Amino acid sequence: MENKAERIAKFIARAGVCSRREAERMIEQGRVKLDGEVLKSPAVTVTDQNKIEVDGEFIGAREKTRLWLFHKPKGVITSHADKEGRKTVFEILPDDMPRVISIGRLDYNTEGLLLLTNDGDLSRKLELPSTAWIRRYRVRAYGHIDNNKIEILRSGVTIEGIKYAPAKIEVEKTQGGNSWLSISITEGKNREIRKMLEFADLEVNRLIRTSYGPFQLGNLKPYQVKEVVGKVIREQVG
């Protein structure tokens, strides 16, 4: 693949900077240079021989697609920077990790499985609703279980104008005022599970993602990272 020409936005995505769509926006904002000149349009092709800068940083040659499983702890944000000064996922990764981006997000107080990749196109592909990968969570929530409202969530519901697809919900056990639930969704909209359970008058006080598509959290401990071997990536992702 060396020296193969491709659109510059795809090149930037393959370098793990961001998704292809985000790369196009960066170009429109004048944040990308090609061979020392600010790029005006994404409609150009490049090879490894070109010198490409994004926000003043040179982007190296493309690498093979890589994928990691990461156990995100509670209390860090899935972002490269935070205006409130909170610690980010990318600040707590091992020093030997290359530049990576996340596949989807977990909010500040959510823990569990987060997929990381050096390929922006792969990130975009696996986030799309059309991919329909199931995200599974274990949830601890405070409040009385209203079976009627749970059934509504299982059938799909619209909350504050946002439509949420049907969710698979199982109540595992109840202890005092808290219940543990197993919830599976396919879309992963912003704060989706928290908003659905608020609809059911339940307050989430712990939220753990246990799987994303075929990839499992398993015994991975908080802060731990595990790379997925290339054969598994090809089998599961294509």
Q: Judge whether 125 and 21 are in contact, CB under 8 Å.
A: no
Q: How far apart are CA 191 and CA 28, in angstroms?
A: 30
Full pLDDT tens readout for the chain, 238 residues: 456 788 898 888 877 787 788 889 899 999 999 999 999 899 999 988 888 999 888 887 667 889 999 999 999 999 877 888 899 999 999 988 888 889 989 999 999 999 999 888 888 888 887 788 999 999 999 999 999 999 999 999 999 999 999 999 999 999 889 999 999 999 888 899 999 999 999 999 999 999 999 999 999 999 999 999 988 988 888 7
- CA neighbor of 38 nearest in space, from 47, 29, 46: 29
Residue ranges and CATH numbers for the domains of the chain are 6-59 (3.10.290.10), 67-129+217-236 (3.30.70.580), 134-212 (3.30.70.1560)
Catalytic option among 35, 95, 96, 107: 107
Residue 96 catalytic? no
Question: Coil, strand, or helix at residue 77?
Answer: strand
Name the helix (H) or strand (E) containing 141: strand 135-142
Radius of gyration of the chain (CA): 20
Q: Confirm if 32 and 39 have CB atoms less than 8 A apart.
A: yes
DSSP at 37: E
Contact partners, residue 52, CB within 8 Å, separation at least 6: 8, 11, 12, 32, 33, 34, 46, 58, 59
92 closest CA partner among 117, 74, 118, 119: 74
User: What pTM value is reported for the model?
Assistant: 0.79
Alpha carbon distance 53, 196 (integer Å) = 42
State both tokens at 223: 């802060």
237 contact partners, CB below 8 Å, separation of at least 6: 67, 122, 125, 126
How far is it, in rounded angstroms, from Cα 155 to Cα 126? 24
Enumerate the β-bridge partners of residue 225.
70
